[in-house]
């Protein structure tokens, strides 16, 4: 499987860059094209089951190396049962969640609170994007990945977040202050990674919209 690892940004952010920097970027491959479309491309390791805790942390977490684990959640209740009908009919689905009134992330604008059941009934009819902790009544459906089940790791887990929409959502270019395991249950998701260690820090801090770290 191939994904994108960017060592440079392929668009000009006029409000943050000098005229000279903009001219330099305009000459780069991929200028004014979709972010990441010009590569460079690198092979990402693909496995069919979770590695051991030791290998997971030593090879991937500490080494800051992306990893694709195919079929890792197929045996979970969430993978088998999570449908709109399942959510709506759940007796505890009135739990409140946070949603954004747009599909393109704008972190300076707020969102709104809505019951999970109501969100599921309307998210395909309006531009809404739920970004919320997994509702309490659904957490038993999502088991903790095997490499994270030791006490030392469990004590440091930050959150379990649920992204839920009918597609077409886009995030800002940002930096996460925690390591992530993205579990895809429906649809598809494209991740573009920027290797800031191979790029000038001053320049990266200008173009990453939220370098202060937030997931």
Of 143, 158, 164, nearest to 98 by C-alpha is 164
Helix (H), strand (E) at residue 3:
strand 2-6
Q: What percent of the chain has pLDDT over 90?
A: 47
User: What is the tens place of the pLDDT at every residue in 3-21?
Assistant: 433 333 334 344 567 888 8
- Give the strand pairing for 112-115 and 96-100: antiparallel
> Is the full-model pTM beyond 0.85?
no
Least confident of 45-49, 86-90, 106-110: 106-110
Which has the minimum average pLDDT: 46-60, 93-107, 132-146, 188-202? 188-202
Per-residue confidence (pLDDT) for residue 23, from 0 to 100:
84
Judged against a pLDDT cut of 80, whether residue 116 lies above it is answered with yes
Pairing outcome for strands 41-43 and 46-47: unpaired
Please measure the distance between the N-terminal and C-terminal CA atoms of the chain and give it in whole angstroms: 25
């Amino acid at each position: 499987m191939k994904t994108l690892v960017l060592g440079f940004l392929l668009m000009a952010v006029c409000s943050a860059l000098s005229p000279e920097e903009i001219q330099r970027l305009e000459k780069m491959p991929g200028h004014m094209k979709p972010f990441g479309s010009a590569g460079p491309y690198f092979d990402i390791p693909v496995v069919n089951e979770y590695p051991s805790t030791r290998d997971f942390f030593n090879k991937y977490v500490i080494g800051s190396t992306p990893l694709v684990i195919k079929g890792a959640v197929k045996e979970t209740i969430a993978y088998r049962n999570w449908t709109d009908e399942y959510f709506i009919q759940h007796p505890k689905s009135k739990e409140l969640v946070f949603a954004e009134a747009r599909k393109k992330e704008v972190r300076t604008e707020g969102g709104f609170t809505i019951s999970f059941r109501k969100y599921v009934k309307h998210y395909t009819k309006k531009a809404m994007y739920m970004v919320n902790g997994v509702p309490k009544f659904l957490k038993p459906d999502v088991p903790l990945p095997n490499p994270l089940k030791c006490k030392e790791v469990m004590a440091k887990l930050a959150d379990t977040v649920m992204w839920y929409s009918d597609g077409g959502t886009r995030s800002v270019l940002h930096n996460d202050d925690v390591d992530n395991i993205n579990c895809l249950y429906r649809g598809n998701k494209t991740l573009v990674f920027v290797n800031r260690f191979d790029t000038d820090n001053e320049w990266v801090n200008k173009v990453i919209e939220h370098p202060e770290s937030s997931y």
